[in-house]
Amino acid sequence: MARCLSTVASARRCPPEEEEQPMKKKLLLSAVMTSALSLVGCGESDPVDNTPNLSTPQGILAFVEGKTLTMTGANIPSHPNGFSEDINFGASSQCYQRVTMTVQGGNFRVDSIPGTIEGAPNAGMSGTCNPELPQNALSFTSTVVSIENVQGDGECFDVAFTYPGFRQVGRGAFSADRRTLDLELFFEGGATGANCAAGGVGSATVNQVIGGESRPFDGKAVQRYTIGG
């Protein structure tokens, strides 16, 4: 179909549908341009970095907040808090079947199930820890938790837990995958050299203090906790 030409001389007008075509094309082009521009910069958003910051005391406490830490089986050391699991220390005996710590408000609630020390009916006697014979559960909650001298991204840090009636001090470390926490703890005043300045968790830097005498600690006191949500 021939295009309609409108001139002043002819005064001929185009049919309305032909006059509207250029305007329709302009509107269509404008819409396409607008849609294209609206897509600029629209793509997948940058991934959120959820890697915990374990380089500060605040970051460590924030990471464990609301989590449950569990120690069972081979993760229970032979000398929790520096004392043999095979010796009857009465209420302070260190034979365990399971220890669970839950963290709320920056404090640690400890629920432990003691095992039975067989062959040692009286305090001071040595026997054999049997974790498969559980005793009545024990529970206590920390009043103060202090973390200092953090090295790297939680590779080592000094820690102290204050509970009603006793205090634990030592050093801790997270595994590279953040799935476990190692705590090498001793009762306050019971050891020296159990800090990160002396060496990493489990290093042979600890001297045990018993009755005012200091001697090299040859046991294993590293408690390993599995970190759960």
pLDDT: which is higher, 31 or 131? 131
Asked whether residue 21 is assigned to any structural domain, the reply reads no
Kindly state the tokens that stand for 227.
Answer: 């970190």
Number of domains present in the structure of the chain = 1
Domain span at residue 199?
Answer: 57-228
Minimum mean pLDDT range among 23-27, 99-103, 132-136, 221-225 = 23-27
Residue 164's closest CA among 84, 110, 207?
A: 110
Asked whether residue 26 is assigned to any structural domain, the reply reads no
Q: Distance (Å, rounded) from C-alpha 67 to C-alpha 172?
A: 17
Q: How far is CA 128 from CA 72, 88, 119, 133, 158, in A?
A: 17, 9, 7, 12, 32
Q: What is the pLDDT of residues 77-109, one digit of tens each?
A: 999 999 999 999 999 999 999 999 999 999 999
Minimum mean pLDDT range among 16-25, 59-68, 118-127 = 16-25
Asked whether residue 33 is assigned to any structural domain, the reply reads no
pLDDT of residue 92: 94
Quick check: 1 pLDDT over 50?
no
pLDDT of residue 44: 57
pLDDT of residue 46: 60
pLDDT of residue 154: 98
pLDDT of residue 51: 81
Asked whether residue 101 is assigned to any structural domain, the reply reads yes
Asked whether residue 214 is assigned to any structural domain, the reply reads yes
Q: Distance (Å, rounded) from C-alpha 184 to C-alpha 201?
A: 6
Question: Cβ(120)–Cβ(110) under 8 Å?
Answer: no
Band (pLDDT 50/70/90 cuts) for residue 229 is confident
Band (pLDDT 50/70/90 cuts) for residue 49 is low
Band (pLDDT 50/70/90 cuts) for residue 43 is low
Residue 69's closest CA among 165, 172, 158?
A: 172
Band (pLDDT 50/70/90 cuts) for residue 31 is very low
Quick check: 5 pLDDT over 90?
no
Asked whether residue 7 is assigned to any structural domain, the reply reads no
Residue 184's closest CA among 204, 170, 197?
A: 170
Q: Which residue in this structure is represented by tokens 């309609």? A: 4
Q: What is the pLDDT of residues 134-185, one digit of tens each?
A: 999 999 999 999 999 999 999 999 999 999 999 999 999 999 999 999 999 9
Asked whether residue 170 is assigned to any structural domain, the reply reads yes
Asked whether residue 92 is assigned to any structural domain, the reply reads yes
